[in-house]
A and B are shown apart, each in its own frame.
Chain A
Amino acid sequence: MRKLTREYTSTHGFYSEYNWGQRFGSTVIPLEIWDCPGNITVETLGTPLSHFRTIIFVIDIRDLYNQAIAKLVDFVIAAYHVNPNIHFEVFVHKVERLQEDDKVENFRQINERVLDRLIEYSPEYEQLPLVFQMTSVFDHSLHQAFSRVLLKLIGSLPYLEDLLNVFCANSQSPKAYLFDIRSRLYVATDASPVDTMTHDLCCDYLQMLNSFGSLYRSASGSGVRHIAPSASESSEGPEVSDRQAARRRRKELFFPSAAALLHSTHPGTALTYHLITEHLALLALMPTPVFESKRGLIEYNVVFFREGVQEIYEVEQQVRSGG
C-alpha cells in the first residue's frame, strides 16, 4: 500500500522524496509515504499513479489562485483515469491563519472551484468521492484528518470496529479509540459519532502519558516489568501451535495501563488507557462509578479485546510475509 502526499504552496517546497515505510512498517498498517516537492507534476513523479492507493493533496486555505487549483484538478483527473478506486483527499491547510467566517468561505470556494473544473472536464466527475478537510498543525484537526484517511486503508477495520463496539457495549463506554501511540492517529473507533472534543482530549492524554513514562524511570532498572515482545518473534515457525504458545506467553506478560478521573459533571468520567500491542493502545471513556466499582470486569473485557486485536494483527503479519 502506498500513499502519496503532495504539497503545493506559493513558495515551492524544498523537501526531496523520501520513504516513510520503515517508520510505519510495524504497526497494523504498513504505510509508504511519498512526500513530494511543490513543483512536481504527474509526468515528473517518476512512478505511475496506479501504484498508489491514496493521494493527499495539501492546499493552503488562502490560496484561491488558479494555479494551485489547476494542479489539483490535473492530479485528480490523472489519478481517476488510472484507478477509479483511488482515494483522493484534499487537506485545506493552515486554517489558523483565517478568521472563522473567512475560513468557511474560502473552504467553500476551493471546493466549488475544483468541482466546477472537474465537471467542465467531464460531467460524470461530479460524482467523484473527493474528500475535503480543513486542517492545521496548531490543533488536532490534522490528526483527525489523517486518522480518517488511515481508516480507509485498514483492511481489518470492520473487525477492529466490531471488537470496539462489543467492548463499549459491555463496559458502558460511550466512546473508545484504538490509537497508534507514537503518531497519535487512531486506527479504529466504535460506531458512535466522533466528537472532536473527546478526540482532542484523548490525543492530549496520550501525549501526556508518552512523556510521563520516562520521568520516574530508575536508571538502574529496578522493578522493570516484562513487556510485550515485538511481533517478529511470534510469527516464525509452524503456525497453529506457535500461535498458541505466543498466546500463553502473552498471558504472563505485563501491559501498561492508566486512568485519569475527570469530574466536571456529577458522575464523572474516567479516561482509561490500556496498551494492546506494542504500537496500539485502547483509549476509552466511561463513567467513573462504573470504572471504580466494576474495575475487575473492565480489565477482564480488555484482556479479551487485546487477544482479539493481537490475533488479527498476527494473521495480517502472516499474510504480509507470504505465509
Chain B
Amino acid sequence: MKKKVLLMGASGSGKTSMRSLIFSNNPASMTARLGATIDVEQNHVRFLGDLILNLWDCGGQDAFMDGYLTTQRSTIFQHVGVMIYVFDVETTEMNKDLEYYRDCLDGLRSHSKDAGVFLLVHKMDLVKNPADVFAKKRKDLVTATGDTPATVFGTSIYDESLYKAWSSIVHTLIPNAAVLTKHLRTFAQICSAAEVVLFERTTFLVIATSHQEGDTSNDMMPTRYERTSELIKAFKHSCTRVREEFHTLELELPDFTAVLDEMTRNTYVLVVAHNPHVETAAIKINVRMARKRFEELQGDTL
C-alpha cells in the first residue's frame, strides 16, 4: 500500500534534516552536513513492511516553489495522503511563507481533498519563550488554514518533539491502528503490564499503545513515548558506531520492570510492568507466543 507524503516548506526550514533524523538513523549532529534540496527528492520509505511512504521532500527555494504551484501543480498535489508543511520558527519572511502555504493548501484541496494537513513549527530549540511563541504561531497558522482541519506541532531535531509529531502523523496513515490498540490492551492484561507500546523497527516511531484516553490510573510522564523513541534511537546509533547491532533490552528498575523486544519483522514492543512480581523472562515468553498473532494482524490489514 502506497501513501504519498508531501514534505513542504521554505528553503532551510529543516525538512531534509528531519527526514534524515527519523528515517535514515542519522543523529541530529550529522544534519549540519546536508545541502539545499534541488527540486523534489522522492524517497520510498518502507514502513511496517507493507506500507510504503512515498516521501516527496520538495526543495523550498522560490524557483522550485513557483514550479510546484504552476506547471507541476497536478503532479505534486494528486494522490496525496498527508501534507506536512514546515515553518522555521525564526523566519523573517512570515508573510511570504504564509502566501506560499495558502497556495499549496489550495493545490491540495483541488487535487487531494481528503489529505491530512500537519503543520510543524520547527527549530523550537532556538526560541527563548517556546510556549508563548508557539501559541502565537499556532493561532496565525490556524487562521491561514481556514476551514480545513489541520494539526500544529512545535518541533526540534534536538529533543523528542519531532518523534511526537511524526508518530502522530504516521499514525493516521496506518489503516488498522484501532485494531492494533485493542490487541495491545489484551496483551497488556495478559502480561499484568501497566502499558504496552508498539514501535516501528527502523524509525522507532510509535504505531500504537495500550493506553486508554482518559485513563489516569497509571499517571506516567506524558512525553514518555517520544522520549523512548529518542533514547532508543540514540542508543541504537551508539551501537552501530562500535559496529554492534542493538537487539533487545530488559530492565529491572526501582520504579518498573520493562522488556523491549522484537514483535514482528517490522515492529518492536515495549512492555512495562509496575507490579514488582512480574519477571522479565515471563514477559519475554509472552512476547514470543504473541508474535504469530501480531504478524497475522499486520498482514491482514495492510
Q: Is A119 an interface residue (CB 8 A)?
A: no
Q: Is A227 an interface residue (CB 8 A)?
A: yes
Which of B224, B234, B252, B274 interacts with A256 by CB under 8 Å? B252
Q: Please determine whether A263 and B274 come into contact, CB atoms closer than 8 angstroms.
A: no
A-contacting 9-mer, from B81-89, B95-103, B171-179, B239-247: B239-247
CB distance from B238 to the nearest CB of A (A): 4
Distance A204 CA – B224 CA, assembled complex (angstroms): 19
Which of B227, B242, B246, B274 interacts with A260 by CB under 8 Å? B246
Mask: chain A, 209-231; 1 = CB below 8 Å from B; 0 = not: 10111111111101111010000
Q: Is A319 an interface residue (CB 8 A)?
A: no
Task: Chain B residues near A66: list those with CB within 8 A.
Answer: none
Task: Chain B residues near A212: list those with CB within 8 A.
Answer: 228, 231, 251, 253
Q: Please determine whether A205 and B235 come into contact, CB atoms closer than 8 angstroms.
A: yes
A-contacting 9-mer, from B67-75, B114-122, B213-221: B213-221
CB distance from B14 to the nearest CB of A (A): 22
B-contacting 9-mer, from A21-29, A194-202, A240-248: A194-202
Q: Please determine whether B248 and A258 come into contact, CB atoms closer than 8 angstroms.
A: no
Which of A201, A225, A256 interacts with B242 by CB under 8 Å? A201
CB distance from A108 to the nearest CB of B (A): 27
CB distance from B267 to the nearest CB of A (A): 17
Distance A257 CA – B257 CA, assembled complex (angstroms): 10
Task: Chain A residues near B228: list those with CB within 8 A.
Answer: 212, 215
Q: Please determine whether B234 and A216 come into contact, CB atoms closer than 8 angstroms.
A: no
Q: Is B275 an interface residue (CB 8 A)?
A: yes
Which of A205, A218, A254, A258 interacts with B274 by CB under 8 Å? A218
Which of B244, B248, B250 interacts with A269 by CB under 8 Å? B244
Distance A218 CA – B276 CA, assembled complex (angstroms): 13
Task: Chain B residues near A263: list those with CB within 8 A.
Answer: 244-245, 247
Q: Is B147 an interface residue (CB 8 A)?
A: no
Q: Please determine whether B249 and A259 come into contact, CB atoms closer than 8 angstroms.
A: yes
Q: Please determine whether B252 and A215 come into contact, CB atoms closer than 8 angstroms.
A: no
Distance A257 CA – B250 CA, assembled complex (angstroms): 9
Q: Please determine whether A258 and B245 come into contact, CB atoms closer than 8 angstroms.
A: no
Q: Please determine whether A204 and B252 come into contact, CB atoms closer than 8 angstroms.
A: no
Q: Is A262 an interface residue (CB 8 A)?
A: yes
Interface majority SS on B: helix, strand, loop or mixed?
mixed
Taking CB as reference atom, which chain B residue is nearest A263?
B247
Distance A256 CA – B276 CA, assembled complex (angstroms): 12
Q: Is B146 an interface residue (CB 8 A)?
A: no
Task: Knowing A208-B231, A224-B255, A225-B254, say if A217 contacts B245 (CB, 8 Å).
Answer: no
Interface residues on B, range: 35 or more
Which of B220, B227, B239 interacts with A201 by CB under 8 Å? B239
Q: Please determine whether A258 and B252 come into contact, CB atoms closer than 8 angstroms.
A: yes
Q: Please determine whether B244 and A262 come into contact, CB atoms closer than 8 angstroms.
A: yes
Q: Is B208 an interface residue (CB 8 A)?
A: no
Which of A209, A216, A269 interacts with B194 by CB under 8 Å? A216
Task: Knowing A208-B235, A215-B221, say if A222 contacts B251 (CB, 8 Å).
Answer: no
Distance A218 CA – B273 CA, assembled complex (angstroms): 10
Q: Please determine whether A216 and B247 come into contact, CB atoms closer than 8 angstroms.
A: no
Which of A209, A219, A268 interacts with B220 by CB under 8 Å? A219
Taking CB as reference atom, which chain A residue is nearest B195?
A216
Q: Is A122 an interface residue (CB 8 A)?
A: no
Task: Knowing A216-B194, A223-B276, say if A264 contacts B219 (CB, 8 Å).
Answer: no
CB distance from B5 to the nearest CB of A (A): 29
Q: Is B272 an interface residue (CB 8 A)?
A: yes
CB distance from B251 to the nearest CB of A (A): 4
Q: Please determine whether B247 and A204 come into contact, CB atoms closer than 8 angstroms.
A: no
Q: Is B158 an interface residue (CB 8 A)?
A: no
Task: Chain A residues near B276: list those with CB within 8 A.
Answer: 223, 225, 254
CB distance from A93 to the nearest CB of B (A): 19
Q: Is B258 an interface residue (CB 8 A)?
A: yes
Distance A223 CA – B274 CA, assembled complex (angstroms): 5
Task: Chain A residues near B248: list those with CB within 8 A.
Answer: 260-261
Which of A219, A223, A259, A268 interacts with B275 by CB under 8 Å? A223
Which of A215, A224, A227, A264 interacts with B224 by CB under 8 Å? A215
Task: Chain B residues near A215: list those with CB within 8 A.
Answer: 220-221, 224, 227-228
CB distance from A271 to the nearest CB of B (A): 9
CB distance from A54 to the nearest CB of B (A): 30
8 contacts between A and B (CB under 8 A): A204-B235, A211-B227, A212-B253, A217-B256, A254-B254, A257-B252, A258-B249, A258-B250
Known: A201-B239, A214-B221, A216-B195. 11 other contacts (CB 8 A): A197-B242, A211-B227, A213-B255, A214-B255, A216-B256, A223-B274, A225-B255, A259-B250, A260-B247, A260-B249, A261-B248
